[in-house]
A and B are shown apart, each in its own frame.
Chain A
Amino acid sequence: MAVFTDVVCPFCGCLCDDLEITVKGNEIKGAKNACAISRSKFMSHRENRIMTPTVKGKEASLEEAVEAAAKALASAKRPLVYGLSSTECGAIARCVELAEITGGVVDNTSSVCHGPTILALQQVGESKASLGEVKNRADLVAFWGSNPPAAHIRHFARYSVTPKGLYVPEGRKGRYVVNVDVRETPTSRVADQFIKVDHGGDFELLLALRAAVRGTEITEDVSGVPAEEINALAKRMKEAKMGIVFFGLGLTQSDGRHMNIDAAVGLVAELNHHTKFVLTPMRGHYNVAGANTVTTWQSGYPYAVDFARGYPRYNPGEYSAVDMLAKGEPDAAIIVASDPAATFPADAAKHLARIPTITLEQKVTPTTMLSEVVIPVATAGIEVEGTAYRMDGFSLRLSKVVEPHGGVKSDREVLDMIVERVKALKEDA
């Protein structure tokens, strides 16, 4: 029996790094400190696994599958590389390289979740802090359009609400927790104050709050929130020693999208004239922040990057996977660590079935079912080492606790093989 300590959990953007995984004979027997989601993922990681590569539904050797993948990608005029957010950074780097050598587009799942956040941050900047700082200093914590108990289960306990910090020694009692949302959620029940905002009214409320922070007294209700409440919250935010806004898809995917974040960033920037205030997106997939980071350090842009002209160009809406697929542009696609067939709008997903789609995946998914080439891979963070970025942009090392099930290769190794074959095919051509 072997016990691995300080294991980083590869399941959500919290990247909890205190797991204790017990292994006996290459089988995971226990996952201490893990939340319910994490535990079930660790314990069931061997279930429903794809065991052999397939090409057009027929079993194939790894080499045959790689060859089929490389041929489809090398001959494509508009190849798409998509996914990336649930694997380690080394594999992500290969994805960017693959897009570059094929003259294709590389996009990651942030284009359908926190893409608007990135647009806003590029537009107006960002004031950020590590989750450790939040734990040790934040005495005002706002959850805006986010509900950690649903998707980031240990967030409250490890980083934001209950932990005792260096300058917040009383823990929960030392923090004022605000929740802004269109409806009550488990987060509002934990919060000291719940502010119910009208559907699609976040933008106006953020602007009004910012004006109040600037010293303008708000005299009318905004988006269903009473004026006194807005003025009082602005005052409380200014008086905090350190404040943080954690925002989620309630803000990025509601009416206004990136402009909501733009307004939130503006509010936080304004508050920094009075005190220390930061904001952090509640990133979902555990390494979606890594997908943005790696893509940026390789191409200069975080997602929706087009290499068709030989140099990187960036334009979400034009080069984002959903939009390109809906318009029927890609003539080949490779999907790494993602399931777009389950998450994309129907017209976009349908196009994947029309073109040669290559999928690297552990388990059977709607995307593998419509793929021409399926290559099974090892699970990063359980069967392969690597690096991942937490929601606050902090990088952590993922561990390998067991050998890959069925001896399959990692995303990175398979991508290396594909990259090598594509290069050779391109040279021959």
Chain B
Amino acid sequence: MKELMLTPKKLPDLPLEAEAITPDSVAGKTLKEVKSLPVYVGNTVQKLGDYFDVKGETAETPSDQLVAIQGECGNVKYIGAGMTAGRLIVEGCVGMHAGAEMEGGELSITGSASNWAGAEMKGGLLRIQGDAGHQLGAAYRGSPEGMTGGVIVVGGDVGLEAGAFMRRGMLIIQGDADSFLGVHMNGGEIFVFGNVARRLGAEAKGNGGFIACFGGVESILPTYVYDTTFRPDFLKLYLRQLRDQLGVEAAGEYLDASFRRYRGDIAVGGTAEILIAEP
């Protein structure tokens, strides 16, 4: 893999929109071309090189491209949005829409992400070591499907409506999840190792989707019905994979746990499952 290093210089006070920061848009370009990729501040168009020092090498194709950003980008939006291949590592925080609609490759953020990270993600791996804001992996407003593929792993807490309108894919949250987790979920898998606030799975249709909660839930909606307590084998397999493939250490602690299963949301005739680990 060829590595390209971006170091933020003085960033503007207004948010910087930089969907140019993906392996896809830098691969096959010279450093000079990379520096003149467009970024947006308010209603003005500027150059990537105005705000970032650009060093290193570019690869022929995105899949051989590693892009590393060293520094805080909390006010930079759309980092890694739409990326299809390669690796993008941010050592610091990122602004809104990081990894939104990404289709492949790996986006790794050592700090926290703002709202709409991984929104409508289609594929690839998005890792956020810190916290994520609201609408993580959610559907954009008015859109019928959120995540349709890929994996999001968050080390910290997540805000409201994470995984809203999820269709496929996986969402793994090692910290706490705020209200309306997996609202309107219609497929996909969500794992939460911290606490889950109320209204999880609201209006979920199901379609094989489930929310597995290991750290307890604030309350279950009245439209979810308890049906059994069991030790599902499939979950054991999942948990092993989470531990061994994705490095989610906490998963290993629940290999033999038993789970209370609730089904719903019966308000919409749904068959989604909420699985709650017995303490």
Name A residues whose Cβ lies closer than 8 Å to a Cβ of B. Answer: 76-79, 102-104, 119, 122-123, 203-204, 207-208, 210-211, 214, 216, 218, 220, 222, 256, 259, 262-263, 266, 307-309, 314-318, 328-329, 331
| Residue B235 lies at the interface, judged by CB distance under 8 Å to chain A | no
* B32 close to A (CB within 8 Å): no
A314 CB contacts on chain B under 8 angstroms: 141
Distance from A317 Cβ to chain B, minimum over Cβ atoms (Å): 7
User: Among B3-11, B64-72, B265-273, which stretch is in contact with chain A?
Assistant: B265-273
- Given the complex of chains A and B, what is the CA–CA distance between A216 and B134 in angstroms? 33
Q: Identify B142's interface contact among A122, A204, A259, A317, CB under 8 A.
A: A122
Is B43 a contact partner of A210 (Cβ separation < 8 A)? no
Q: Are B142 and A207 within 8 A (Cβ)?
A: no
Whether A203 touches B202, Cβ cut-off 8 Å, given contacts A103-B43, A214-B266, A218-B222, is yes
Q: Quick one: closest B residue to A220, CB to CB?
A: B222
Of the candidates A208, A307, A328, which one forms a contact with B222 in the assembled complex, judged by CB atoms under 8 Å apart?
A208
Q: Does B40 contact A (CB under 8 A)?
A: yes
Smallest CB–CB gap between A117 and chain B, Å? 13
CA distance A127 to B123 in the complex (A): 35
**The residue from B42, B203, B266 contacting A103, defined by CB atoms under 8 A apart:** B42
B43 in contact with A308 (CB, 8 Å): yes
Q: How long is the Cα–Cα vector from A307 to B42 in the complex, in angstroms?
A: 9
Does the CB pair B14–A211 fall under 8 Å?
Answer: no
B44 contacts chain A at the CB level, 8 A cutoff = yes
A318 to B77, CA, bound (A): 11
Query: Which of B42, B141, B221, B265 is the one whose CB lies under 8 Å from A119?
Result: B141
**Residues of A contacting B184 in the complex (Cβ-Cβ under 8 angstroms):** 123
In the assembled complex, 6 residue pairs joining A and B whose CB atoms fall closer than 8 Å, in A order, are A77-B43, A210-B223, A211-B222, A262-B203, A263-B202, A317-B115
Within the complex, the shortest CB–CB distance from A188 to chain B, in Å, comes to: 24
Quick one: which of B15, B17, B140, B265 contacts A207, CB cutoff 8 A?
A: B265
Q: Does B96 count as interface, using CB distance less than 8 angstroms?
A: yes
Contact of A222 with B222 at beta-carbon distance under 8 Å, contacts A77-B14, A103-B42, A308-B40 already known: yes
Q: Which residue of B has the minimal Cβ distance to A213?
A: B267
Residues of B in contact with A, size category: 20 to 34
How many Å from the CB of B227 to the closest CB on chain A? 14
Cβ contacts under 8 Å, A331 to chain B: 42
Main secondary structure of the interface of B (DSSP, over half): loop
Neighbouring B residues of A262 by C-beta, 8 Å: 203
A-binding residues in B (CB < 8 A): 13-15, 17, 40-44, 96, 115, 134, 140-142, 179-180, 183-184, 199, 202-203, 221-223, 265-269
A259 contacts B199, CB within 8 Å? yes
Residue in chain A with minimal CB distance to B225: A216
Bound state CA distance, A310 and B268, in angstroms? 40
Residues from chain A with a CB closer than 8 A to the CB of B96 are 318
Which 3 pairs between the two chains have the least Cβ-Cβ distance? A103-B43, A77-B42, A122-B142
Closest to A314 in B: B141
A328 to B12, CA, bound (A): 12
CB atoms of B222 and A259 under 8 A apart:
no
CB <8 Å contact, A207 and B267: yes
Contact present for B221 and A207 (CB under 8 Å): yes
Q: How many whole Å from B273's CB to the nearest CB in chain A?
A: 17
Closest Cβ of chain B to A242, distance in Å, is: 23
> What are the residues of chain B within 8 A of A220 when measuring CB–CB?
222
- Roughly how many angstroms separate A177 CA and B141 CA in the complex, as a whole number? 33
Min C-beta distance of B161 to chain A, whole Å: 8
* B115 cross-chain contacts in A, Cβ below 8 A: 317-318
Nearest CB in chain A: distance from B170 CB, A: 23
- Contact in complex: A329, B15 (CB < 8 Å): yes
A363 to B202: give the CA distance in the assembly, Å: 46
Contact check: which of A78, A104, A123, A216 meets B14 at CB < 8 Å?
A78
User: Could you say which of B183, B223, B266 contacts A259, with CB atoms under 8 Å apart?
Assistant: B183
Once the chains are docked, how many angstroms separate the CA of A309 from the CA of B42? 8
Contact of B141 among A216, A309, A316 (CB under 8 A): A316
CB distance from A237 to the nearest CB of B (A): 14
Q: Are A263 and B203 in contact (CB under 8 A)?
A: yes
Cross-chain contact A211 with B267 (CB below 8 angstroms): yes
Residue of A119, A204, A220 contacting most chain B CB atoms (<10 Å): A204
Report the minimum CB–CB distance from A255 to chain B (whole Å): 8
**With A77-B42, A317-B115 given, is the CB distance from A266 to B142 under 8 Å?**
no
Contacts of B17 in A (CB 8 A): 309
In the bound complex, how far is the Cα of B14 from the Cα of A331, in angstroms?
Answer: 10
Please measure, in the bound complex, the distance between the C-alpha atom of A78 and the C-alpha atom of B40, giving whole angstroms: 11
Given the interface contacts A203-B202, A329-B15, does A214 sit within 8 Å of B269 by beta carbon? yes
Nearest to B41 among chain A residues (CB) is A77
Q: How far is the CB of A269 from chain B (nearest CB, A)?
A: 10
CB-based contact A315/B199 at 8 Å:
no
A197 shortest CB reach to chain B, Å = 13
Question: In the complex, A328 Cα to B14 Cα: how many Å?
Answer: 8
Q: Whole-angstrom distance from the CB of A222 to the nearest CB of chain B?
A: 5
Task: Compute how far the CA of A115 lies from the CA of B183 in the bound complex, rounded to whole angstroms.
Answer: 19
Which residues on A sit within 8 Å (CB–CB) of B183?
A: 259
Q: Which of these, B40, B140, B142, B268, contacts A309 with CB under 8 Å?
A: B40
Closest residue of chain B to A328 (Cβ to Cβ) is B13
Q: How far is the CA of A176 from the CA of B17 in the complex (A)?
A: 54
Taking CB atoms, residues of chain A closer than 8 Å to B140 are 315
The residue in chain A whose Cβ has the minimal distance to the Cβ of B44 is: A77
CB of B42 within 8 A of CB of A211, answer: no
Min CB–CB distance B199 → chain A (angstroms): 7
Residues of B within 8 A of A216 (CB): 223, 266
How far is it, in angstroms, between the C-alpha of A318 and the C-alpha of B96 when the chains are bound?
9
Measured CA separation A360–B144 after assembly (Å): 39
Which of chain B's residues have a CB closer than 8 A to the CB of A328?
Answer: 13
Q: Is the CB of A210 within 8 A of B42?
A: no
Chain A's closest residue to B198 (CB) is A204
By the criterion CB–CB under 8 Å, are A204 and B222 in contact? yes
